[in-house]
Structures are given as structure tokens and as C-alpha cells.
Structure 1
Amino acid sequence: MIRIGIIGCGGIANAHVLAYLQHSERVKIQALADVYVDAAEGLRRRFKLEAQVHHSYEELLKREDVDAVDIMLPHHLHWKAVMDAIMAGKHVLVEKPMCVTPAEADAVVDAVKAAKTKLLVGHNQVFSPAVREAKRMIEEGYVGKLFSVRTQDCFKGRIGGWRLSKEKIGGGELIDTGYHPMYLLSYLSASKVSSVYAVTGKFFNLEMEGEDTAMVLVNFADGSLGSVNTSWAYELPPGDKRFAVAGEKGLLYGDLLVLGYKVPGMGEARREWPTVRDPYTDTFIYEISHFLDVVEGRSEPIQGPEEGRSVVRLVTAAYRSVAEKRAVGLDEV
């Protein structure tokens, strides 16, 4: 039985706790930590958890009866909490982003290499059945040589709290919801990113210090292209896809639980997966299952510190592109 400590008991913690409860035969939530004790107490009551509440995560990390921690703090606090957890000998699942700067990411990679613990970055959409199947089909040549990868994640919603602060969020929408299509782009592509050109805007959440909308164009080292569309100011048109991959043999496109495949001149092949709870929560159920496999030594992290660093560099290059109004190479960040 793996004993988990939850660090940060805000909104996203609800999805994580629901996922842990789906694997109750393998894991127990042992402790909760939040500077706002009422948030931790509320989480404990809501899910009837037999877990001790701590006012600080430092107290939680001292516990010998905690094997691993799940870090869900505001972005600017991720790096220190991750480093402290590694130094305390705990396995780590950290919500995206792993941290907010390439220098922080380098330090995390080095710390994990030196430690005996494992780290998984919470790129939850990678664990959806449709994305995993698309990755398999790409690797097995179903679309042939890749021409382009397009990813997107958009909704219209009011943003508040720490996300209004450019310093605390690490920028704006792009390093929050926009982080999802950024890591999906990296995951589905067959090549390393060579350069990035990005533009941002603020249309609906005018009180934010950062952007609420971003578009990113990517050149990959093998000559293929990528694009990201992400926003808190508008929804996607009905039927639009979360991801689409075009290659010399055909197309792959879909969402979390639906995947389409089309070869030129032929009809569409389509596959759908059943839900456990709902498409959103299911990504966390699959992610937590993988994290438990990692902690138990059954698997290496699919999205570990190296993958986390790659996406941090990609986002950093995008922000630099916006600031300097030019394409920025990944070797510049």
C-alpha cells in the first residue's frame, strides 16, 4: 500500500483525490497540507479521508509514513516544493508545470538523477486512451512521415485568484491551460522542436496581468510543423478536435476518448472509449495509475523530469518570442 501526502488542497486536488479513490486497493491518502487549513479540512470532509492535516508541507515531508507526495500548488511554488520533496526522499507527482524557468527545470533534472526517488509531471492528457493510441499509431507508421501536428485547448471563463498575477502563474494562460496543448504537441511529434514563434492577446480576462489567449507556431528539427491554439476567452467550434496529426499516409485526430483515422480516398475509421467517471476525471485516473506503477517500480515515468524540462523550455521560448517579436530557437533558452 503506497502512502500519499497531498500538498496543496485547491480545486485541482478534488480531481486527484477522486482518482486516488479509484485505486483504493493500492494507495492511501495519509496526509494533507495547505497553508489554508480550511481548504485541507474541507477536502478531508468532502471525501471522508482518514488523513492528518498539516499547516505546512514541510511538516508533511518529515513524516516517515508518507512514501510519495502529490504537489498541486500555485506555479511559482512548484520548484521549491519539488526540490524539498526530493531531498526528503519522497517520490513526486507534480501538477503541470513542473516549474516555471529552464534553470529551475535543470535543477530538478539533476536532483532526480542524484536521488533514488521518481518524479512524474502531471501532463494528464497524455494518459487519455485516444492520445496514447494516437501515439502508438504514429510510432508504428500509420500516418507515415509527419507533416504537421496541431493541438488546442480553449474555453471561455473568468479567471481569479493567484492566476491573475503574472509572477505567480509564470506568465498567463499559456503556462496554465495552454500548457496542455504544448505538452501534447511535444508528445505526439516525431522530432525535437527547433524554433518557436508566438503571439498572445488579452480579450476577456482584462484584469489579468498576463495573456488570456495564445497562438504558437513551431518548426521541428525534421522539417515538420506544429501549431497551438489556446484561450480562456473563447470556445472551440463544435466538433473541432483537441489534436490533429497530418502525415504522408493520412490523418489522426481526436479528443480525450475519441480517435479518428483517415487515409486519402477512404472513409473514416473511428474509435471511442467508455468513460469511468467523465473524460476530464478519467485522465487523472489513468495518470494516478501510472504514478503508482512508477512508485512500485513497475514502470518508468512516461512524462518525467526530462519531458517536464522540454515543455518548460518550449513555453519559455514562446514567451521570449512574444517579447522580441521574432522566432526563437530552443537553443536560446
Structure 2
Amino acid sequence: MKKTKIGIIGSGFIADHHLYSYKLLPDVEIVGFCSILEDQAKKLMEKYDMNMELTKDYKEFFKKDMDAVSICLPNFLHKEVGMAALEAGKHVLIEKPLARNGEEGKALIDAAKKANKQIFYCENNIYAPAFKKVKQTIQEGAVGQIFMGRGKEQHSGPHSTWFYKKDMAGGGALVDLGIHDIALLVWFLGCDVEKVFCQTAITIPNRDEFGECEVEDTAVGILYFENGAQVTIEESWNSPGGYQMLIEIHGTDGEIICDPTRMTPMIVYSEKGYGYAVEKASSTAGWTYPVPEEAWTFGYPQEIAHFVNCIKTGKKPLTDGEFGLKIVQIVDAMYKSAESGCLEEVNY
């Protein structure tokens, strides 16, 4: 069995999910690991029994014999490192967002076309079992014509400084959390967003060890779809209690409510607390909603398996670079609306 050779660049939270997912696949070989954060990287290498030399220079890293590279880096590095990987002849898996803005995203798409390589856009929620069932239910005609919907994601805020810095992240809760909801809603409705309205705010300007919050920690918006549907999104970094996501779809013949983080198979009450419940939950005392097999519930292994299959077969991925570009272009229009206070058209 010929194995697909994969390199990982980055050693944070998302790199952990990618490594876990790759390790489930017998036809994948991790052939390289790149990070400038040596201590953090070594912990991951030990966790996943990676007996290899850590590379710190990504340009040297891309000289290795690899079929594809998982880019698990801060937003401001997606364009630079992604283009370098493509130019080195590697397929690229890029975590959301594709880039800080549409201009950077377009540069990545152009580089992929020039190199004749694929960009696999990592939007894990589209591969999550609960949301796949939502899509299937819509396709089977359960709700009729969709005229309204809602997407909501919230937690208490990221655990890395770069998220809070405008030049590094490109934005705040909207591009971090809202981009998930927008991608899901575009996928569910199967048509484009024509116009948007958005308002943003900074509610907690001081983020302690992470410094000043330069980007929005709260965002609300309306997506106006070409089929006439009006869909709201609500995003926040100011909500304690752990990661929460919610999708509502309302149609002429029915409705769907999907909440993988609160409609969990088990609810726990504990006076003293216990180990781990869900991402971003600072405590497990009181009532909690532990998410079983979190990586699987959120779609990471399924996403990686799909991309590896596409590399082997040459098939077009469900979420490719063009899809990622479309989503970031919608986000661009929402930031423009937040500045203008007006409805804004999406420029694809």
C-alpha cells in the first residue's frame, strides 16, 4: 500500500487535531514536522510518537518529499507559507480562514492554479456528523423552501495573543467563529449570499496576559441569500461555559435545530468538577455538557480522511480553495458593512 506523505507546519491546538486525525489513517505517513516553538512542538511529537527531527525553517521544510502539507498557523502566515508550499509542489491543507481577506485568498488560489496543486480548505464543521445530517435532511425536502436561519458560536475567547491583534488575525470573532457559521449556512442553502449587514463591538478590551483586544469580540450580522432567505449570525468571545455552537434552519414545511455542544448525549452535575468537558470550558463544576469524542463530533478526522482520499484519487474536495475564498469574501463584505453602517454587496 502506497502511503500519502504528509508534513505538518505549526504546533498548536489545530496541529494536534490534524495529527490525531492523520494517525487514524493507515495509508498516511507523517514525514515532517515544522515549528519555531520547540517546547510546544516536542510535546506533540512525544504525544504522537513522532521519531523525527523538528524543522524550524519552513523553506527548508518544503524541500522534503511530501505529497501535502497541513498549514496549522496563525492567519497572517496563511498566504506566505501557503504560497511557498504550493510553489514547492505540495498540495496544501489550510485551516479556516483561507486568509485574512479576499485579496490574500485570491493570491493563494492563483498560486494553486499555477502550480497545478489543490488547496483543501479545512472547514471541519461541514464534515461533522450532526451537520452532515442537517444537510441530508434539507436535501430530502424536510423543511421545504428555506426562508430564515440562524448561526451562533461563542466561547470565552482564544488562548493565543495573535488572535487579538488586527494585523495578525485580520479580524476577531467574526473571522474566527463567524466564518464557521457562514460556511455552514452557504452549504446548507446551496446558493450565494448577495448582500450583508453587520455590527461589531469590543466588549472586553483588556485580555490580561494576551494584552489589548484590537479586534471585535462580538459580531452580529444578516446574510441575504439569492433565494430570498434572510439568515442571522451571532458570534462572541465573551461567553464563559465552554464552546457553544447552534444552527437553526426555518423553511415553509419545517425547521431544524442543531446544537452539538448543548444537545449532548449526557449532562453532568458535579460539586467538585472533573477532567475535561469541551473546548474553552474553564471549569467542570456545576452543570456541564461534555462532548464525547470531541474531534470526531466536530468533524476533524472525517475532514482529513476526505482530503487524503482526494489526494490519492484526484477528486475535487467538498471544501476546496474556491469555497474558502467565497467565505472570506463574504466576511470582507461584513467588515465593510460594520464600518459603513449600511447593507453591502458581496464582491466575488
Q: In which range does the TM-score fall when normalised by the shorter chain?
A: 0.7 to 0.9
2:193 matches 1:193: yes
Change in 2 beyond 3 A, CA 1:27/1:306 = same
Aligned-partner Cα distance in 2 for 1:280–1:174: 24
CA shift for structure 1 position 318: 0.8
Q: Distance in 1 between matches of 2:328 and 2:203?
A: 25
Aligned equivalent of 2:172: 172
Q: TM-score with structure 2 length normalisation? A: 0.84
Q: Which residue of the partner structure matches residue 332 of structure 2?
A: 316
Give the Cα–Cα distance (whole angstroms) in 2 for the partners of residues 242 and 236 of structure 1.
15
Letter of the 1:215 partner, please give it. V
Q: Secondary structure at the match of 1:312?
A: helix
Identity of aligned residues (%): 30
Aligned partner (choices 298, 302, 312) of residue 286 of structure 1: 302
Asked if the contact 2:156/2:241 (under 8 Å) is kept, the reply is: no
Q: Match for residue 227 of structure 1?
A: 232
- Which of 14, 20, 24 aligns to 2:22? It is 20
The alpha-carbon deviation at position 81 of structure 1 amounts to 1.1
CA RMSD of aligned residues (A): 2.3
Opposite residue 234 of structure 2, the aligned amino acid is N
Report the Cα distance in structure 2 between the residues aligned to 1:27 and 1:279, rounded to whole angstroms.
Answer: 18
Pick from 9, 12, 18: which aligns with 2:11? 9
Structure 1, unmatched stretches of 5+, are: 260-274
1:214 aligns with 2:219: yes
TM-superposed deviation, 1:228: 0.8
How far residue 253 of structure 1 moved from its aligned partner, in angstroms, is 1.9
Q: Which residue of 2 aligns with 1:255?
A: 259
1:203 aligned partner, one-letter code: T
Q: Distance in 1 between matches of 2:261 and 2:104?
A: 34
2:21 maps to a residue whose letter is A
Work out the CA distance in 1 between the residues paired with 2:173 and 2:57: 28
Alpha carbons of structure 1 residues 157 and 258: separation in structure 2 relative to 1, 3 Å: closer
Deviation at 1:99, TM superposition (A): 0.7
Deviations 1:201-226 (A, max 9, x none): 12235321011111111111111111
Distance (Å, rounded) in 1 between the aligned partners of 2:108 and 2:15: 23
Q: Following TM superposition, by how much is the alpha carbon of 1:41 offset from its aligned partner in structure 2, in angstroms?
A: 2.2
Check the 8 A contact 2:7/2:68 in 1, yes or no. Answer: yes
Q: Equivalent residues in 2 for 1:51-62 (5 A)?
A: 51-62=52-63
Contact 2:128–2:296 (CA<8 Å) still a contact in 1? no
Q: Unaligned regions of 5+ residues in structure 2, if any?
A: 207-211, 264-290
Shift in Å, 1:109:
2.1
Post-superposition offset of 1:8: 1.0
Q: What is the CA-CA distance between 1:276 and the residue it aligns to?
A: 7.5
